[in-house]
């Protein structure tokens, strides 16, 4: 586990004034990494760090050579159009750069005059996925989500026998991972209408979102070399928000016997900013299981996991409809949950993924699966919130939803806060549903 250091000091203030505003996602104590360029330009994409309402241009900072040692080496890797090489360099490299940036952006820093011209408003920037994603694996790590969904189909036996023992996952589609702010067409697939004798090819009528946490892999492991639990977090560069959009009617027809396919591979949205595990250190919480539940197998259990394996990330999903935008109505919150309720930790997911010798590569993306809490209001998908579509939601403007309609925009947000530490956030992972395009 990463210890607290000077970058977590709640008394720190930045010369970037917006970073000091209460409740801001990107104070000096955060400094998440991303890839950006000026909106509408043909500039090359390059690394940046979010500070307040601005992006510090790391590509432009690198030629100024403001740092030495490991921080300088890591800064050189940020001039690339993706951050795979920075991720591959491991937590010591990114931690050294984050420490140097923390000093450079503090009030009274002698580097202020050199860095201020390198700030670009976030509102004037466009982003891409922070890494070139080679592989995408989506877990199923929320027992509350698994139970709620299982109850819809198997009321008497909602959890399958392996759930409490195995970090369940499936391999997703890396090529359709996109950064927040985009849109995608409603997907087609085979559906089996109720009471029908044969399926049909049609656009999904049960399009859903999934409120998830994403993990970008940093340092790799070689093929055939499992990652022990005690070393797993050293292979994680940082976390982001993730929405693994789902076509529930397609999924219902196709998922047996091999699991999701077209129901999941058409779009996955991630937030542009990746918050490092170092920044999240003040928000670690114990990882616990309710009394009477089976303990994990030995390779997934140790004292460090039980002490601080969890992370208390507050998660929120909101919906913004065409009518709401036309009337100037703010997006409506649908649910809130906490990543601290996850049945499996990020380290356990990495260790299980590699226990058979599977090699993870820098920039690989892991999803936590839908994160739901124990209360009905903490459900992380419309499938749960509407009881499988049987109980429509009524929105504040009078609209009703069972599943998503064309023009709907779903916005995921996440943040951590615990006194006396400064609140840090993840920004947004948002995308808009467009009408289907007939195949």
Report, as residue numbers or ranges, the catalytic residues: 145
DSSP H or E segment with residue 150? helix 143-153
Phi, psi of 57 (to 5 degrees): -75, 100
Distance (Å, whole) CA 16 – CA 118: 12
Q: How many CB atoms lie within 10 A of CB 158?
A: 15
Distance (Å, whole) CA 121 – CA 115: 14
Q: Nearest-5° angle of CA 388, CA 311, CA 15? A: 115
Distance (Å, whole) CA 342 – CA 145: 10
Candidates 206, 217, 283; CA nearest to 246 is: 206
Q: Phi-psi region for residue 69, left (φ > 0), alpha (ψ -120 to 50) or beta?
A: left
Q: Is 181 exposed, middle or buried (0-12, 13-18, 19+ CB in 10 A)?
A: middle
DSSP code per residue over 280-324: TGGGEE-----TTSPPPPGGG--HHHHHH-EE--EEEEEEE-HHH
């Amino acid at each position: 586990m990463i210890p607290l250091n000077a970058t977590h000091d709640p008394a720190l203030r930045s010369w970037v004034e917006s970073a000091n505003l209460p409740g801001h996602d990107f104070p000096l104590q955060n400094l998440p990494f991303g890839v950006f360029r000026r909106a509408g330009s043909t500039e090359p994409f390059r690394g940046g760090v979010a500070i307040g309402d601005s992006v510090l241009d790391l590509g432009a900072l690198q030629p100024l050579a403001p740092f030495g040692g490991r921080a300088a080496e890591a800064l050189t890797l940020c001039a690339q159009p993706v951050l795979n090489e920075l991720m591959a360099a491991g937590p010591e490299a990114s931690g050294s750069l984050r420490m140097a940036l923390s000093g450079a952006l503090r009030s009274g820093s002698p580097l202020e005059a050199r860095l201020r011209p390198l700030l670009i408003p976030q509102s004037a920037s466009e982003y891409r996925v922070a890494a070139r994603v080679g592989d995408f694996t989506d877990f199923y790590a929320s027992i509350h989500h698994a139970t709620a969904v299982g109850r819809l189909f198997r009321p008497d036996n909602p959890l399958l026998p392996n759930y409490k023992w195995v970090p369940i996952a499936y391999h997703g589609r890396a090529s359709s991972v996109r950064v927040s702010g985009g849109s995608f067409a409603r997907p087609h697939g085979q559906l089996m209408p109720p009471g029908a004798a044969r399926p049909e090819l049609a656009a999904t009528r049960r399009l859903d979102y999934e409120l998830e946490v994403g993990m970008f892999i940093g340092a790799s492991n070689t093929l055939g070399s499992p990652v022990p639990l005690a070393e797993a977090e050293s292979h994680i560069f940082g976390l982001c928000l993730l929405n693994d959009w789902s076509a529930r009617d397609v999924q219902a027809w196709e998922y047996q016997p091999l699991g999701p396919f077209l129901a999941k591979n058409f779009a996955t949205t991630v937030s542009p900013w990746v918050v490092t595990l170092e920044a999240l250190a003040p928000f670690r919480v114990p990882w616990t299981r309710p009394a009477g539940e089976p303990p994990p197998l030995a390779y997934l259990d140790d004292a460090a996991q039980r002490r601080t394996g969890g992370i208390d990330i507050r998660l929120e999903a909101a919906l913004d409809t065409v009518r709401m935008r036309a009337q100037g109505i703010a997006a409506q919150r649908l649910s809130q949950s906490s990543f601290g309720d996850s049945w499996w930790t990020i380290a356990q997911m990495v260790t299980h993924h590699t226990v058979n010798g599977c090699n993870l590569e820098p920039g690989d993306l892991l999803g936590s699966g839908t994160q739901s809490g124990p209360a009905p209001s903490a459900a992380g998908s419309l499938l749960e919130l509407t009881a499988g579509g049987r109980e429509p939601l009524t929105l504040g403007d009078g609209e009703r939803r069972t599943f998503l309609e064309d023009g709907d925009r779903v916005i995921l947000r996440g943040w951590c806060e615990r006194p006396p530490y400064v609140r840090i956030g993840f920004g947004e992972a948002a995308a808009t549903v467009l009408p289907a395009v007939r195949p």
